[in-house]
Amino acid sequence: MHREFLMGNEAIALGAIAAGVNLITGYPGTPSTEVLETVAKNRQENQYVEWSVNEKAAMEVAAGAAYCGARVMVTMKQVGLNVASDPLMSLEYIGVKGGMVILVADDPGPISSQTEQDTRRFSAFSKLPCFDPSSAQEAYEMVQEAFAYSEEYGTPVFFRPTTRVCHGYASILVKDVEEYSLHKAEGFVKDSKRWVIFPRLSYQNHRKIEERNERLSEVFSEYERNRIYPEEGENAGTRKGIATGGISFTYAMEARDSLGAVRLFKVTTPHPFPEKRALEFLEGLDEVLCLEELDPVIERELTYLCGKYHLPVKIYGKLSHHVRNAGENTRDSVAEDIRKFLGEPDNDSARHMGIEQEREAPCGTADKGQSAALAGEAELPAPPALPVRPPVLCAGCPHRASFYAVKKAMKGKKTIFCGDIGCYTLGNAMPMDMVDTCLCMGAGLGIAQGVGRIEPDTSCFAFVGDSTFFASAITGVVNAVYNQARMTLVVLDNSTTAMTGHQPHPGTGQTMMGEVVSKINIEAVLRGIGVQVVETVNPLDHEAAVECVKRVESEPGAKAIIFKSPCIAVVKASNALKASEDRCIGCKKCVRELGCPALVIKDGKVRIDDSLCTGCTLCSQICPTGAIGGGKNE
Ligand code: SF4
Ligand code: SF4
């Protein structure tokens, strides 16, 4: 160990390097910017750093790397978190394998931002644990602990310094290079039940997250940084306490030196709130003053606990108008707030603000009559089990042909297929099994890039629909081109927004008002962004599609294939095909490899259900005996 005079952001960066961070992405924003810059300057071998095109792309690239077991960090400021919230909210439901620290620097004041939003609230909203450092030294040490918690609980975690922690300087103890941890990523292990977000998985994982956060509340109650400083000396019998966190804790400790040692509770993990430790703190107190910047997070938690446990403790803070409810705290403002609290508690004001409310009858008593009525009802017989109908791509869906072409072209190679949100997410079902990850709209691009950074020997594909391309995938393409990622984008262009009911989009040439407008050409957009290799092919021409994938994938850098064929719901179907009973040898290749619902087996041979078949001809192209024919080519 040795001492260095460092800015808080530099301390966080060195802490992340010491923890063996493998990849760090971010988008610049005061007061967070120097964290990524410092990692870039001091990075060790195999540590990848990029400024991403925005916070969403940064989050997705980092998520892909974390899926591989890499330790990753994403940096942004609080308003940037709004941009990243789409992948973030889903990522909590998916979880991570490698430790993932999301550094969001808050800006009370605000000094250089549009809003005073509080990431601790976003933490509760998104259900992610949050670490709130109070000094540069603590930030250095705590960021290393945050990686460990993230890995142990399989969740991204927030690390939320505020401006004065980020930009304050201090002489701090840091590790020598020889003491750094080396973290090696295990690699991506395919498991679509884990990495593809389907509604059923979300429901199951939501339950697990709630249980985990209850457990974490207990774990954090034992975390030594959530600490109670006992009252001492002349304040020993005052029955008053101060609850605080972040930089306000540091200010409060300074005030304590001159104003006396009142009992103090330092909240380092505002979410999940360390409930048991908080109850220890509240024990025997009459009044508590909450000192925190931005939102009254600690104040609300303590008020809630007093209600939950019927504790006769008055909680003062922003909600009770005892301290300012906006702007930055300072050393002087905190000292002044404490002085007033210890000298002249304004009980009238507290009563006026509704702190002393009469307690209602215990919850639940009003429902008793209703429960009895329900109990008297005859029990209904259990309904019969419904037949299982797994979701499946439609018969003749061009996406089936696209997935199949990529699968054939990449057979035997190490690949990852990053899916996206749309009906093509169903490409994850057997027999296609072509969606290894799915997070949120447009995320496949970033995830493919993240996996590629950790596993350069993997061929990384990102699939996206035409509507999703316009909605939120374009930034991911810009990110790939700018940061020189090696990946293949596959645009599944079926000329509509199929999953939600065939709404028009910028590539369809009409608006919702029925106006005919210029179509925005996806190939031209990709070329305009700088993608050098872009090919458009009809996926229903199987041989040409496979050749195209092989050719394009072997090119360096970011390249794209546009599989263009309209959705079966927007064009008139051709005549259904027919399978010849004489020529079919019952090998089931067509059923096994395509899974088209129009193909059925009868007496060991294939039949085609002409009420479903659209005449796409894909099955006839792969049948080894030429048993399938007819349709419009007949
Ligand atoms: S032609 Fe074959 S693959 Fe296409 S819809 Fe008909 S049965 Fe299915
Ligand atoms: S691939 Fe051809 S021969 Fe094999 S089961 Fe299908 S139709 Fe019959």
Q: What is the pLDDT of residues 499-525, one digit of tens each?
A: 888 889 999 999 999 999 999 999 999
Q: What is the dihedral of CA 594, 599, 605, 607, to 10 degrees?
A: -150
Beta-bridge partner residues of 48: 23
Q: Whose CA is nearest to atom 2 of ligand 2?
A: 623
In testing the pocket of ligand 1, which one of 542, 567, 572, 594 has its CB within 8 Å of the most ligand atoms? 594
Average pLDDT over residues 407-431: 94
In this prediction, residue 391 carries a pLDDT of 78
In this prediction, residue 203 carries a pLDDT of 92
Q: Could you tell me which of 110, 117, 27 has the C-alpha nearest to residue 78?
A: 117
Share of the chain above pLDDT 70, in %: 94
In testing the pocket of ligand 1, which one of 392, 577, 593 has its CB within 8 Å of the most ligand atoms? 577
Cis omega (within 30 of 0) for bond into 272: yes
Find the angle CA(576)-CA(577)-CA(581) to the nearest 5 degrees. Answer: 135
Distance 305 CA to ligand 1 centre (A): 62
When pLDDT is cut at 50, 70 and 90, the band that residue 368 belongs to is: very low
Would you call 606 helix, strand, or coil by DSSP? Answer: strand
Instruction: Give the Cα separation of 10 and 33 in Å (integer).
Output: 10
Distance 624 CA to ligand 1 centre (A): 15
Instruction: Give the Cα separation of 416 and 486 in Å (integer).
Output: 12
Strand pairing class (605-608; 599-602): antiparallel
Distance 596 CA to ligand 1 centre (A): 6
CB burial readout 507-521, b (16+ within 10 A) else e = bbeeeeeeeeeeeee
Instruction: Give the Cα separation of 223 and 244 in Å (integer).
Output: 16
Sequence-ordered strand ranges (E) for 466-623: 487-493, 534-537, 558-564, 577-579, 599-602, 605-608
Average pLDDT over residues 10-30: 96
Q: What is the strand order of the sheet 157-159 is part of?
A: 48-51, 23-26, 72-77, 100-105, 157-159, 130-131
Structure tokens at 458: 């993997």
In testing the pocket of ligand 1, which one of 574, 584, 617, 633 has its CB within 8 Å of the most ligand atoms? 617
pLDDT at 362 over 60: no
Reported pTM: 0.88
Mark out the alpha helices in 463-541 (DSSP H runs).
Answer: 466-468, 474-482, 522-529
pLDDT at 352 over 60: no
- Assess whether the C-beta atom of 578 lies below 6 angstroms from ligand 2: no
Question: Which numbered atom of ligand 1 lies nearest the CA of 396?
Answer: 5
Q: What percent of the residues of the chain are helix, what percent strand, and what percent coil, each to the nearest 5?
A: 40, 15, 40
Distance 538 CA to ligand 2 centre (A): 23
Cis omega (within 30 of 0) for bond into 431: yes
Beta-bridge partner residues of 503: 497
- Assess whether the C-beta atom of 579 lies below 6 angstroms from ligand 2: yes
Burial grade of 425 (CB within 10 A; 0-12, 13-18, 19 or more): buried
Q: What one-letter code names the amino acid at 25?
A: T
